Amino acid sequence: MTLLSVKDLNVCFPTGEGIVHASRDVSFSMESGEVLGLVGETGSGKSVIGQAIIRLLPTNANITGTIAFNGQELTTLKDDAMHALRGRVISLVPQNPSGSLDPLVRNGMQIGEIFIERGMTKNTAWDKACDLLVAVGLIPSDRIAKEYPHELSGGMRQRLTTSIAIAEKSCLIIADEPTKGLDYHARETTARVLSDIKTRDNVSLLLITHDLYLAEHLCDWIAVLYAGEIVEIGPAGQIFNTPRHPYTQALIRAMPKNGLVPLDGQSPSLMAIPKGCCFADRCSCHSEICSKEHPDLIQESLNGGVRCHHPSCN
């Protein structure tokens, strides 16, 4: 059944210099136990979507559209009802693990306080925290539990924040750049932990990343974002093997293993979105219509589509 359904989500931020359109007309849906990857470059609006779902956007954000979670509309949900969902039913693995952990609290208690909040004794909470550390591969767990966040490497801190996110049996985990800046081993471990959670607990995962390797390895579905909008969405295999949008094609060609072909130019400012296709001035197959008319996302199946006047042109 459909767990999460986002429809026509628009997020904008009024600033002194103008309105930043961070996310425009984003629609997608996720079934239970599925992994959807939101990929795209920095500033493409990926994190904003995740934060809109879990309602952690700054108060000046203007949000329109609907976000239905298990049939419940999240955008209009009362704060206390949202509070009951957040961290319990919908969890977030934040982007910056170092900034998300309390530097004065031992690693074990970073997780343990969740269980204490639930009414468990300190000892039981500590033991459960150690079990979770083992689950994410932080071994020996009893030693690591007694240490502080600064004694862990970046990869270990990332796994610690992941273990906090899985402490409650959530239905949906939003993982925001879980592998940013990690080395290969740490990436591999993080990927394994995330894929274990998915298979073991039938949790849905919204993976926000610019790490295409991770996306290819973990995702069932992928949505490619460019300048705040989805330009292509479809099954992961299809996106990687037969990408149709010129931007998706360029992203995949830019991967070192695919030849490191650079894509010239920059994405447009989110304060001055072009009238036509946002990708037109970087696209090798643009024509007159591209700079005049904004392409719609042409739905080819329930969750697949491409926003381009000339799909599959390369």
Partner 1 sequence: MSPPVLQLTGLSKSYGHGDIFSGISFEVGSGKTVGLFGQSGSGKTTLGRCIMRIENPSSGQIMMQGMDLARIRRGKLRDLRPSFQMIFQHPEVSLNPRMTLGESVAEPLMVHKRIGMDDALREIGPLIRRVGLRDEHLARYPHQLSGGEVQRAVLSRIFSLKPKLVVADEPTSMLDVSVQAQVLRLMQDLQKETGVSYVFISHDPDVMSVMCDDVLWINHGKGVMYDRSAFIDRVKTRYILDVPA
Q: Which residues bind partner 1 (CB under 8 A)?
A: 41-43, 153-155, 180-188, 191, 210-213, 217, 250-251, 254-257, 260-264, 266
- The three-class DSSP label of residue 10 is strand
Q: For residues 85 and 277, which CB has a smaller minimum distance to partner 1 in the complex? A: 277
Query: Least distance in Å: CB of 264 to partner 1?
Result: 7
Least Å distance between CB 44 and partner 1? 9
Report, in Å, the least distance between residue 76 CB and partner 1: 34
Shortest Cβ distance from residue 292 to partner 1 (Å)? 26
Angle at 39 between CA 92 and CA 182, to 5 degrees: 65
| Amino acid present at 120 | M
Given a contact cutoff of 8 angstroms between Cβ atoms, the answer to whether 3 and 67 are in contact is: no
What is the Cα–Cα distance from 297 to 314, expressed in whole angstroms?
19
Phi then psi dihedrals of residue 205, to 5 deg: -130, 125
Decide: 205 and 173 in contact? Cβ < 8 Å. yes
Q: Which is nearer to partner 1, 114 or 194 (CB)?
A: 194
* DSSP label at residue 269: P
Which amino acid would we find at residue 88? R
Residue 98 has which token pair?
């170092």
In the bound state with partner 1, the residue whose beta carbon lies nearer, of 64 and 184, is 184
Other beta carbons within 10 Å of 192? 14
Of 187 and 307, nearer to partner 1 (C-beta) is 187
Q: How far is the CB of 214 from partner 1 (least distance, A)?
A: 9
Give min distance, CB of 254 to partner 1, in A. 4
Q: Are 244 and 224 in contact (CB under 8 A)?
A: no
Q: Distance between CA atoms of 274 and 214, rounded to whole angstroms?
A: 31
Question: Of 148 and 213, which CB lies nearer to partner 1 in the complex structure?
Answer: 213
Considering the complex, state which of residue 81 and residue 261 has its C-beta at the smaller distance from partner 1. 261
State the minimum distance, in angstroms, from the CB of residue 226 to partner 1: 10
Q: Which residue lies nearer to partner 1 by CB, 106 or 187?
A: 187
Q: Which is nearer to partner 1, 93 or 191 (CB)?
A: 191
| Cα angle, residue 121 at apex, residues 117 and 127 outer, rounded to 5° | 100
CA-to-CA distance for 70 and 73, rounded, in angstroms? Answer: 8
The pairing of strands 62-69 and 2-15 is antiparallel
Buried (b) or exposed (e) across 215-226, using 16+ Cβ within 10 A? bbbbbbbbbbbb
Shortest separation between residue 123's beta carbon and partner 1, angstroms: 33
